[in-house]
Amino acid sequence: MTKGGPGDKYLGDGKIDTNKWFENVDILENQIKNEEIWFCTAPFQMMYTSVSGEMLPCSWATEQIGPNVMNTSIKDFFLHDRMMKKLRTEMVTPGSNLKLVEKVCKNCRWQEKHFGRSRRQAALKIQSNDKQLWPEIRNLAEQHRSDGYIDFDKAGRLLEIQIKAFGNTCNLDCYMCIPYDSSIRMTSIHSEELKDEKIFSKYSKKAPKKQTNRKLEEIIDDIVSVAPQIYNVKLIGGEPLVMKKFYVLLEKLIESGHAKEMMVKYQTNMSTIEFEKIKISKLIPHFGTFEFTVSLDSIGKANNYIRRRSNWEDIINNIKHVKQYPNVDVNINGAISFLSVLRFWELIDWFGENKELFKQINWSNIRNPSKLGANVLPEPLKEKLIPFYEGFPDIQQVLREPAIAPSTDQKLGGQKLDYQETLDYLLMNDKHYKGTKWEMDLFEVFPELEEYHQPKDSGLDIINT
């Protein structure tokens, strides 16, 4: 079903089965598999920009620690940034104290310690078996281990550029999305109906600083300047298919003459494939591989509720349209959350019935904000759901977790999480959309939740019983 990420067998004590990692095993690979080193591919082949323009080794890295695209080029960041150099050194050195890793990579470190699997491991499972990419990554890793230096001009195609610095423009209002990452979410979360919600932090509701048009053009030119080393360009929003600058970037990459050697990845809700009369289908044939990773969490009405303003039929029609092109791959990427886990098993079944449309299906467990995690559901519902995920131990595991905020959550760490606050938040969303064409009712779409909701004036205090 899937080539990476979910599904690795949990062995306990923060470990997973790595038998499916690496086709060929040498010294470096053995050190990774045996955990003699804590290795991640990101510092050796990735460059990520946050919505605010901060440059980081990946999208899961701790923010507010990297330089900004306003004053640093991709090449300078990759070659000369002290954080990147030290991360690489710690990751290829047996017995390292991992001091910087603990700071920069705390999200993956925490998830591996508590749940046995993380985004780092998912990437390793995929990339370690990529016959084109892994040899390039291991060459750079061994080169850095040898003399701490990387000869960028001699590097092959291994760079993955992940771009969010073009802004947070989005056309959907997904209930679990951090408001900072979506223009529609930012408007909704500050509406009168949601003024009393207790789910998101103040920081997550603060609008990001926008780059000027001139600076965005400079970022585009900077990306094009490293086109000979680009393996993959991943476009992230907001919703990248409704962001004009991404179309401009692709057109300039085509003009560079390197597009045929590149992969383009859109992290998309796939609700549209045309923007301001520009059709993405006109650009697809110019690239080696064009991949759409579609964010889906269920099927039909349930997915429309979770990702408010979306339309299931339109999404499927758009997927079928782009699949007409021979260089197109389509993946599904889901977020296991308070609502989606109630129906995600239906999406897995549907995927199995429509495999001709897709390359793979992946998912990750929502951990932030804590109150939207699948573990926050009432215990009877979690117990009922576990059999539906037979063969998917990572989903079963989150359903077995107590409704307690992780220790890394500075505001709530160690506290028991009240699903009533989550239900109240969802009902606030319903009220916000009352009278619009996107009006939906939580208990109509997810009727199993209704018996657990206690109105605020009931005088009852029930927490995950």
pLDDT in tens, 428-445: 999 999 999 999 999 999
pLDDT of residue 224: 95
Structure token digits, residue 134? 């892994």
Tell the burial category of 359 from Cβ atoms under 10 Å away from its Cβ (0-12, 13-18, 19+): middle
Q: Which residues of 295-310 are buried (b: 16+ CB within 10 A; e: fewer)?
A: bbbbbeebbbbbbbbb
**Are the CB atoms for 237 and 170 separated by under 8 Å?**
yes
Cα Rg of the chain, angstroms: 22
371-383 pLDDT tens trace = 999 999 999 999 9
- How many folded domains does the chain comprise? 1
Q: Is residue 194 part of a domain?
A: yes
pLDDT at 455 over 90: no
Amino acid letter, 100: L
Tell me the pLDDT band of 3, cut-offs 50, 70 and 90: very low
Sign of CA pseudo-dihedral 236, 241, 244, 249: positive
**Residue 456 confidence (pLDDT):** 73
Give pLDDT, residue 440. 98
- Label each residue of the chain as H, E or C: CCCCCCCCCEEECCEECCCCCCCCCCHHHHHHHCCCCCCCCHHHHEEEECCCCEEECCCCCCCCCCCECCCCCHHHHHHHCHHHHHHHHHHHCCCCCCHHHHHHCHHHHHHHHHHCCCHHHHHHHHHCCCCCHHHHHHHHHHHHHHHCCCCHHHCCCCEEEEECCCCCCCCCEECCCCHHHCHHHHHHHCCHHHCCCCCCCCHHHCCCCCCCHHHHHHHHHHHHHCHHHEEEEEECCCCHHHCHHHHHHHHHHHHHCCHHHCEEEEEECCCCCEECCEEHHHCHHHCCEEEEEEECCCCHHHHHHHEECCCHHHHHHHHHHHCCCCCEEEEEEEEECCCHHHCHHHHHHHHHHCHHHCCEEEEEECCCCHHHCHHHCCHHHHHHHHHHHCCCHHHHHHHHCCCECCCCCCCCCCCECCHHHHHHHHHHHHHHCCCCCCCCCHHHHCHHHHHHCCCHHHCCCCCCC
CATH of residue 312's domain is 3.20.20
Question: For the segment 272-303, what is each residue's pLDDT rounded down to a tens digit?
Answer: 998 888 889 999 999 999 999 999 999 999 99
Whether residue 417 is contained in a domain is answered as: no
As a whole number, the mean pLDDT across the chain is: 89
Does 456 fall in a domain?
no
Q: Is there a domain that residue 380 lies in?
A: no
Question: Is residue 343 included in any domain, yes or no?
Answer: yes
Token pair, residue 181, equals 């990452």
Q: Which of 316, 269, 264 is nearest to 295 (CA)?
A: 269
Query: Is residue 182, in this structure, part of any structural domain at all?
Result: yes
What is residue 9's predicted lDDT score, i.e. its pLDDT? 64
Q: Is residue 161 part of a domain?
A: yes
Residue 358: domain span: 10-375
Cβ(71)–Cβ(222) below 8 Å: no
pLDDT band at 12 (very low <50, low <70, confident <90, very high): low
Tracing tokens 């038998």 back to the chain, one arrives at 19
Checking if the pLDDT of 464 tops 60, the result is no
Report pLDDT digits (tens) over 170-211: 999 999 999 999 999 999 999 999 999 999 999 899 988 777
Span of 31-40, 58-67, 323-332 with lowest mean pLDDT: 58-67
Q: Cα dihedral sign for 4, 375, 422, 351?
A: positive
pLDDT(406) > 60: yes
Which residues have CB under 8 Å from 211's CB, separation 6+? Answer: 53, 69, 70, 165, 166, 167, 219
284 part of a folded domain: yes
Task: Grade residue 1 by pLDDT with cuts at 50, 70 and 90.
Answer: very low
Instruction: Using pLDDT thresholds of 50, 70 and 90, give the confidence band for residue 118.
Output: confident
Residue 452 CA to chain centroid, in angstroms?
30
